[in-house]
Amino acid sequence: MNSNTIFLLLLLAIGLSFWAQFKVKGTFKRYSKVPSTYGLTGHDAARRMLDANGLYDVPIEPVRGSLTDHYDPTKRVVRLSEPVYFENSISAVAVACHEVGHAIQHKESYSMLVLRHKMFPIVNLTSRISPFLILAGFLFGLFNLAGIGVAFFSLAVLFQLVTLPVEFDATNRARRGMLSMGLVSQNEEQQVGKVLNAAALTYVAAALISLLELFRFVLILLESRNQN
């Protein structure tokens, strides 16, 4: 596979990423208009699921924005965007329970989540440095420097790949928990799945883009060294 082929695949992956973002926003908006059968808000569903798993001390906080929901492992808090926190909808319940899935992972020391947390400080540093090293290495013919930049970038790619099982596992925990606890009805399972699957697709697209970009850098680096 040459660099031109990888570049074309990269363009397709970027297209997939835009489509995935469009899909997740559209799916969330669609099912945010569908009230949940049991009248639960995102906050209600998250609180019940946290308490059912013994996480009574984990607070839930509203944050501004749309799709800004996340679990903060450093402060052990679930943060839900205002539409999710306050509203009663399929989307709100699905997203809220997904974030609780991360809190449960934290409690149980889920291996991939632990690995991701250990990697974060390193990747946070190397991902900032790598673009400058790669650019400077190619501009000035310092291919060892570019190689270090590519190696640093590969850590960011690995971080993206580790994120995938973390997100999929949180989604699976959310779906099982919602059904077993009666937070959603059997008839709503498919709708909940559509919301969560759309969100998961964005992580897949991001990982694919990063992986193809890494391959492209490696091929360019090898071609440049061979020419010199």
Catalytic residue among 82, 87, 99, 213: 99
Burial 176-212 (b: 16+ CB within 10 A, else e): ebbeeeebbeeebeebbebbbebbbbbbbbbbbbbbb
Q: Is 108 considered catalytic here?
A: no
**CA distances in angstroms from 145 to 117, 151, 154, 224, 225, listed in the order given:** 28, 10, 14, 13, 12
CA distance 77 to 60: 6
What φ, ψ does residue 45 adopt, rounded to 5°?
A: -65, -45
Would strands 70-72 and 77-81 be described as parallel, antiparallel, or unpaired? antiparallel
Quote the radius of gyration of the chain (alpha carbons, Å). 20
Strand partners, 70: 79
CA distance 11 to 37: 42
Q: Are 159 and 122 in contact (CB under 8 A)?
A: no
What sign has the CA pseudo-torsion 205, 77, 191, 116? positive
Question: Closest by alpha carbon to 209, among 8, 60, 13?
Answer: 13
Q: Indicate which residues carry an active-site annotation.
A: 99
